[in-house]
Amino acid sequence: MQMPETTPINIAEGSLEQVSFNSDGLVPAIVQDNRNGQVLMLAWMNSESLKRTLETGRTWFWSRSRQEYWCKGETSGDRQYVRSAFYDCDGDTLLFVVEQEGRGACHTGEYSCFFRSFDEPVADNKQ
């Protein structure tokens, strides 16, 4: 099986300044599968993790609980390779379209973190 390639994302002049970080210096980042458009996860980025993501072509996030940077998949092997990156009209939400490697994006083993539906009975406690 061939490993996906990392592809840095071009950073157009002035584009990083369009991102509006909250009072904690963070911005939500939605991650979407490039094959089918499925939303895989939402995590938080600060200025440095955003730059790392764009420069390396891999998703980097800021862990609010651990207070550290993490590159998605370095522990699990479920890596994300960025194929395109966007910011919304207000600059306060990011969207990364990725090639997902491995089992998926969710730490529970599900492919997407959004596998629970409000119209289905709850099978177990919140993970």
Note the pLDDT tens digit of each residue in 22-31.
Answer: 999 999 999 9
pLDDT category, 125, cuts 50, 70, 90?
Answer: low
pLDDT category, 53, cuts 50, 70, 90?
Answer: very high
Statement: the pTM of the whole predicted model exceeds 0.75: yes
End-to-end CA distance of the chain: 32
Phi and psi torsions of 39, nearest 5°: -75, 125
Enter the tokens of residue 63: 């862990």
Closest by Cα among 3, 1, 12 to 84: 12
Assess contact for 69 and 60: CB atoms under 8 A. yes
pLDDT in tens, 61-90: 999 999 999 999 999 999 999 999 999 999
Cα 125 off chain centre by:
25
